[in-house]
């Protein structure tokens, strides 16, 4: 249950968080960030379970996530 009088924005990915913060932070009185966003994300998301193969474990390419809070600080400076 969201607190009365507070606009809560729910997100499920680092990119959604960055987009929501960029949209809402400039006009917000307070910004509370209660999320620990991963520094990296997979370059490709599997649509199904990745099965064991004879080649060994799969190689997963990672992309760096933006530092959302640092972006807010830069925008307000």
Model confidence at 76: pLDDT above 80: no
Got the DSSP string for 25-60? GGG-S---------SEEESS--SS-----TT-SPP-
> Is 0.85 topped by the overall pTM?
no
Give per-residue pLDDT as tens, 12-65: 888 899 899 999 988 888 888 776 788 999 999 999 998 888 888 889 999 999
The pLDDT-based confidence of 7 (bands split at 50, 70, 90) is confident
- Phi-psi group of 3: left, alpha or beta (phi > 0 → left; psi -120 to 50 → alpha; rest → beta): beta
């Amino acid at each position: 249950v969201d607190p009365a009088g507070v606009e809560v924005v729910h997100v499920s990915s680092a990119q959604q968080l960055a987009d929501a913060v960029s949209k809402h932070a400039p006009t917000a009185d307070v910004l509370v960030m209660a999320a620990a966003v991963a520094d990296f994300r997979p370059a490709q998301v599997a649509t199904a379970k990745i099965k064991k193969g004879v080649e060994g474990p799969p190689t997963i390419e990672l992309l760096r996530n933006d530092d959302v809070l640092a972006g807010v600080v830069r925008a307000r400076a």
